[in-house]
Structure 1
Amino acid sequence: MHLSDEEEDYNLSLSKFESMLKTNKVLFFDSEEFEEIILHYIDMGKPALAKKALKLALEQHPKSTGLKLVQVEMLIYEDKLDLAEKLLNELYAIEPHNEEIYIQKASIFSKRDNHEKAVELLKTALKYTDDLADVYNLIGMEYLFMDNLELAKDNFIKCLEEDFEDQSALYNVVYCFEFLDQNDQAIEYLSRYIDQNPYSEIAWHQQGRLHYSLHQYEPALRAFEYATYIDDEFLGAFMEKAKTLERLHRYEEAIESYNRTIELDEPTSYALLRIGKCYEKLGNKNLALKFFNKTVHEDPLLDKGWIAITDFYVRQKSYQKALFYVNKALGIDDQNRYYWKRFATINQELNNYEEAEYGFRKAVEYGDQMLDTWLYWIDMLVYLGEYESGVQALLQASEYFPEQADIAYRLSGLYFILHETEKASFHLANALRAAFEKRTILEDLFPGVWEMKEVQKAIQKYQ
């Protein structure tokens, strides 16, 4: 790799400084060399070495404003804001037109959560700086802290007008558009940006993401493809491209694109799972199963993998195999409501009603708030003749689903069986008023109750 002259000098300064530290000989560096060395150590997260370099630097160049500003940066980094401010005031007296003084002052106000004052100082820095892009970017960040996304967006756009290549500003612009629900405007902005900078893979990738979020899959695909042409190792773009191809039912191509992500990096359980789903859509059951198995092998804690295998066997009506896999999943995580619901429905298919009841109960216990789960559980209790427990479960369910006719009809049926006629009639009246057309629930679940004279009378009344 060929280094530029600047990089050569910079690497020489660094190695010269590090060998000096080892030998304890004091060598001379000019102030700019020192600045680069110190900032290098700050960026590397090595504050002790940065401090050492700063101390030597100030001994050799006590009057250098640049070094004093680096000292201010280090004080801010260490949260010594009062000291930093004092030093900045001294520097301001000497160099009132140095933009870096305003930038560092803004940084102090920002750390103290006074973002309005920080913006004011940064706007002053704009008058003196040659690096407008950097200052616009900083102003954008301050507006983000203030949750003023319109002004943040405007400043990131100004930053990009000054410096096309600023990737963090590009991400931030898109973030602001998205946060403001302006996805169409974001796409327009990126189109203009791409007209001027057609080889920006980030811009193409972001544009693809926005089209995808608006369900515009054809243009999304085109954008992701451009991103992968520009950078054929752009993992995120290949992943998004694969997801888009899947949406377009182009499963073979989706598999190719998911495979590319696996070549570029370690296989992720997500990619393996999606490949399995694509093979299943293509009717290739063996390969689908192979990839579902790879998914759970890669990440045993990913519930989507176990669910995919279980559902695969349920669709084949291979309930014993489905049960085997859902039990394996429960062995790894026995508090997963999705596993318990499947455990229950599979056992229901196998006529293991007690296990089914237990599974639905566990699903509810671990947070399944779907009405159908509650009803399946309650219907199992009724089938098993556990009427009291059924009533308790229904009363619990009615707290989550008030005025739900499915619950009221069942409560009415159980109260009639338990000879609590007053409560039974009350719930029957509510149920008939809420959803007369669902009255067959009584006929299906409680045929004996359905035939009772008073029940038929109540139904006639509502007809």
Structure 2
Amino acid sequence: MDVQQIINNASRLLKQKKYIESLEAFNKVIEIEPDNHTAWCKKGIALIHLKQYEEALKACDRAISINHSYYAAWEYKVLCLRRLQQYQEANDLCDRILKIFPDANHKHIWSSKAYSLYRLEKYQESLEAYQELANFDPLTDCYLFDRGLGLETQGKLKEALNHYDLCLKINSDYYHAWEKKYILVSQLNKHEEALIIADKLLELQPNNAVNWDRKSSTLFNLQKYRESLKVIEQAIKINPNNSVYWDSKGVTLDYLKKYSESIDCYDRAINIDSMYQSAWANKGRALQRFEKHKEALNLFNKALEINPDDDFAWHGRGTALYNLGKYQEAILSLNKALELNSNYYYAWYEKGRVLDELEQYKQAIDCYKKTIEINSEKPFNRKNKL
């Protein structure tokens, strides 16, 4: 078998992801022809896949020393430096490659440069590099979006947000990037910014009921309840058979103290989807406004049949039991709510009230202290007023 046949066989093994076998084959070529730059470069590629980055870097350097014009070896050397997290060196090498090979297709070099600059926290320069990359690859915005998704799954929300921003600077009408940005900004409680994004989503897709619901939710979080109500009604107008929208309208009406109207909305939600747990629990809360504690208890029980891990429903159940004078049962329900959400300050407060009735004053005071510790801006007095 001649050298070219061995190289072809080794390359085939590389494509088949048989990296150890391909490495052995490239080593065999190098034994026969120590100055075969192709074999050295592809040996480097195999080593990269085997995560032996230092050795891969040496192999790429050897290929370059044999044939200074072998572009692929330069590309893979950059990749080695990235894998070794030597981002400054990688960026510098990208600049060198751009000068040495001015007429080459630099798609991967601009990609590496943009990524390296991002990791160096040089965000403006990184954006400029991504914009250059877009000249070679029209899917650059998609690449940035996909990378943002990957970072999100790793829990790196701020990094993901940066990638969506980069994506939008390249393509300002990328709907899904705006959508993901809205979700992350909302999770970070940046509601003013979320409202601006919600308007952009509506500009791009004005007949999408989800976008009206998003804007309504953001206005609700900003305590603009009347505006929120008008907007959720737009979502219902587009899609009147969505239980979530009716439930959201009910909650908004509840905050506007229109309790009877809110109950009507919860009933609409339940009629559409009898397994929509939130509507059962919210209706229970609304009935408590009318002192219908026994009926409310039944609704909280129904909600918990559907979802036994809902802290809100356990809290509501505990409150209903308290109002029915069933203090020991109330404690058990409130403890369950706190087991699910240890920062649920309403549940801590209600537990304090129950302990008061049981004349367990020290424990009650501890619960009130915990309430204030969690949310010092909303201390309760004994009359349950904020």
TM-score, normalised with respect to structure 1: 0.53
Cα pair 1:412 1:425 within 8 Å, conserved: yes
| Aligned pairs, number | 328
1:354 matched to 2:297: yes
Displacement of 1:77: 3.7
**Match of 2:256?**
none
1:428 matched to 2:375: no
Cα pair 1:141 1:152 within 8 Å, conserved: no
1:440 matched to 2:358: no
Displacement of 1:69: 1.9
Cα pair 2:249 2:265 within 8 Å, conserved: no
1:274 matched to 2:211: yes
Equivalences for residues 202-217 of structure 1 within 5 A: none
Displacement of 1:412: 1.7
Equivalences for residues 53-452 of structure 1 within 5 A: 63=2, 65=4, 67-78=5-16, 80-81=18-19, 83-127=21-65, 128=67, 130-132=69-71, 134-143=72-81, 145=83, 148=85, 150=87, 154=91, 157-158=94-95, 161=98, 166-167=106-107, 170=110, 174=114, 180=119, 182=121, 185-191=122-128, 194=131, 224=168, 227=171, 237-240=174-177, 249=196, 254-258=201-205, 273-274=210-211, 277=214, 283=230, 287-292=234-239, 306-315=243-252, 317-326=261-270, 328-329=272-273, 331=275, 339-350=276-287, 351=292, 352-358=295-301, 361=304, 365-366=308-309, 368=310, 374-397=314-337, 401=342, 406=349, 409-416=352-359, 424-431=360-367, 440-441=381-382, 443=383
Q: Partner amino acid for 2:29?
A: L
Cα pair 1:273 1:292 within 8 Å, conserved: no
TM-score, normalised with respect to structure 2: 0.62
Cα pair 1:153 1:177 within 8 Å, conserved: no
Pick closer, same or farther for the CA change 1:101–1:155 going to 2, 3 Å: farther
**Match of 1:55?**
none
Cα pair 1:75 1:84 within 8 Å, conserved: yes
Cα pair 1:115 1:142 within 8 Å, conserved: yes
Q: Distance in 2 between matches of 1:239 and 1:166?
A: 28
Of structures 1 and 2, the one scoring higher in RCO (CA 8 A, sep 6+) is 2
SS at match of 1:130: coil
Displacement of 1:169: 5.3
Displacement of 1:378: 1.7
Cα pair 1:227 1:237 within 8 Å, conserved: yes
Cα pair 1:273 1:291 within 8 Å, conserved: no
Displacement of 1:153: 5.5
Cα pair 2:78 2:94 within 8 Å, conserved: no
SS at match of 1:365: coil
Cα pair 2:168 2:178 within 8 Å, conserved: yes
CA RMSD of aligned residues (A): 5.1
Displacement of 1:375: 3.6
- Measured against aligned partners, the alpha-carbon deviations of 1:95-149 in whole angstroms (never above 9, x if no partner) come to 33332212222233334332221222123233325343x4444344445555x26
Structure 1 segments unaligned to the other structure (5+ residues): 1-61, 229-235, 263-270, 297-305, 332-338, 417-423, 446-463
Q: Distance in 2 between matches of 1:119 and 1:177?
A: 20
Cα pair 2:94 2:112 within 8 Å, conserved: no
Q: Partner amino acid for 1:257?
A: L
Q: Distance in 2 between matches of 1:397 and 1:159?
A: 61
Q: Distance in 1 between matches of 2:45 and 2:20?
A: 12
Q: Distance in 2 between matches of 1:152 and 1:311?
A: 53
Q: Distance in 1 between matches of 2:38 and 2:94?
A: 22
Q: Distance in 1 between matches of 2:230 and 2:344?
A: 44
Identity among equivalent pairs (%):
13
Displacement of 1:344: 0.5
Pick closer, same or farther for the CA change 1:323–1:365 going to 2, 3 Å: same
